Amino acid sequence: MAELQYYLGCPQWSNKQWVGELFSAEAKPADFLQQYSAVLNTVEGNTTFYALPKPATVLKWRDETPPGFKFCFKFPKSISHQLRLQNAGQETNGFLKLLAALGEKLGPFFLQLPPSFDFNALPDLENFLQSLPADFTYAVEARHPDFFNGMAAEEKFNDVLQSRKIGRVVFDTRGLHAAEVTEDDFNTLDAKRRKPKVPVRFIATNQSPFVRFVGHPIIENNEFNLWQWAGAVVKWLAEGKKPFIFMHAPDDFYAPRLARYFHSLVAKLSKDTGGLPLWPGEKERPLETQLQLF
C-alpha cells in the first residue's frame, strides 16, 4: 500500500479501549505505540503539557516507531499558561533539548496559548517565538476572540506566524458543538465544556498546516466538515505542503475510526494521497471480514 502523503493521527497513542479494535486482542501497553505507528504516521504528544518524560522513555519512543513517523509534542503548561511565555528560557530549553533526541521523528512543537492570551499579549508571543531555536518547526494555537475577529488583530497574529514560518493551529470543533447530547453522555458533555467554540480558518501560514478536528460523536455526521478538510488537504498537497491532521472525538475510542473515515474522503478526491493499512486488531479477523473493510 502506498505511503500516506500527509500526516494523519490521533491525540494519543496509548488507549486501552483500542485493544481488539485498533490494537490486537492481546496487546499490552508496551505494544501500543508500535502498533499505533504501524497504521498512522503522526500523533499529538499532549502528555508533555502536564509532565515531561524521562530521557530513556524518549529514546524508547524513537526506537519503537518506523521511519517517517512524527511526534508533535505540546509545550508544557508551565511555559504557556503559568509563565505565559515570559522568562521561560530555562524551561523551554530543557523541554526542547529533552525531545531533540527524537531527531527526524520530531514534527512541529505545538504551543497552545491560554484562552485569556489576547492581542495585548502578542508582543510576548513575538519575543518568545524569536527566542526559539531554528532547528525545529512550531505551530501555535490561539483561543482568544481577538485572533478570530477578521480584522487587524487577526491579521497581525497571522503575520507574526507567517514571517517566522510557524504554523497556525486550526481547531475545528463544529462537529462537537453541533451534537445534541443527553445528560448521561458524559464524554460529549465534558468535551463541549472544555473545547473552545471558535471560527474555523482554512489557513496555512507555513509548509506544514496543522489541523485539530473534534468530531460529532456519530462519525457520519461529520461528513460535510470532513469533505471541506479533505479538499484542503488535497489543495495543500498540490501546493507542495505537507499537512498534519489530527482527529479527536468526545470519546477518543472513535478517533482512529474518524481518521480512517476522513482518509476515505481524501482518497476519493485524489488517488495520489496514499493509503492506510489494516489495523493490527483487524488482521486477526477472518479474511472475509477484512475484505468488507475495503
Nearest one of 211, 294, 219, 285 to 254, comparing CA atoms: 219
Give the C-alpha separation, 54 to 77, whole Å.
18
- Assess whether pLDDT exceeds 60 at residue 50: yes
The confidence score (pLDDT) of residue 10 equals 98
> With contact defined as beta carbons under 8 Å apart, do 209 and 243 qualify?
yes
In this structure, is residue 271 part of a structural domain?
A: yes
Phi, psi angles (nearest 5°) of residue 75: -60, 140
Question: What tens digit of pLDDT does each residue of 175-192 get?
Answer: 999 988 778 888 888 888
- pTM for this one? 0.94
Work out the pLDDT band at 153, boundaries 50, 70, 90. Answer: very high
The confidence score (pLDDT) of residue 193 equals 84
**Which residue range forms the structural domain that includes residue 19?**
7-292
- Assess whether pLDDT exceeds 60 at residue 173: yes
The confidence score (pLDDT) of residue 174 equals 95
Residue 65: CB partners within 8 Å, gap ≥ 6? 33, 34, 37, 71, 105
Instruction: Read off the CATH number of the domain in which 23 is found.
Output: 3.20.20.410
In this structure, is residue 2 part of a structural domain?
A: no
Three-class DSSP labels, the chain: CCCCCCEEEECCCCCHHHECCCECCCCCHHHHHHHHHCCCCEEEEHHHHCCCCCHHHHHHHHHHCCCCCEEEEECCHHHHHHCCCCCCHHHHHHHHHHHHHHHHHECCEEEECCCCCCHHHHHHHHHHHHHCCCCCCEEEECCCHHHHCCCHHHHHHHHHHHHCCCEEEEEECHHHHHCCCCCCCHHHHHHHHHCCCCCCCCCCCCCCCEEEEECCCCHHHHHHHHHHHHHHHHHHHHCCCCCEEEEECCCHHHHHHHHHHHHHHHHHHCCCCCCCCCCHHHHCCCHHHHHHCC
Single-letter amino acid, residue 294: F
* Domains contained in the chain, number: 1
**Among all chains, which residue has been given the C-alpha cell 486488531?**
281
Work out the pLDDT band at 1, boundaries 50, 70, 90. Answer: low
Across 232-252, average pLDDT:
96
Q: In the beta sheet, which residues pair with residue 140?
A: 111, 168
In this structure, is residue 1 part of a structural domain?
A: no
Question: What tens digit of pLDDT does each residue of 72-117 get?
Answer: 999 999 999 999 999 999 999 999 999 999 999 999 999 999 999 9
In this structure, is residue 175 part of a structural domain?
A: yes
> With contact defined as beta carbons under 8 Å apart, do 71 and 40 qualify?
no
Q: Residue 81 corresponds to which cell in the numbers above? A: 499558561
Phi, psi angles (nearest 5°) of residue 136: -120, 170
Work out the pLDDT band at 276, boundaries 50, 70, 90. Answer: very high
The confidence score (pLDDT) of residue 288 equals 47
Percent share of the chain, pLDDT over 90: 86
The confidence score (pLDDT) of residue 289 equals 52
Work out the pLDDT band at 294, boundaries 50, 70, 90. Answer: very low
Percent share of the chain, pLDDT over 70: 97
The confidence score (pLDDT) of residue 84 equals 98
In this structure, is residue 76 part of a structural domain?
A: yes
The confidence score (pLDDT) of residue 205 equals 98
User: CA 268, 4, 76, 61: dihedral to nearest 10 degrees?
Assistant: 150
In this structure, is residue 64 part of a structural domain?
A: yes
The confidence score (pLDDT) of residue 286 equals 62
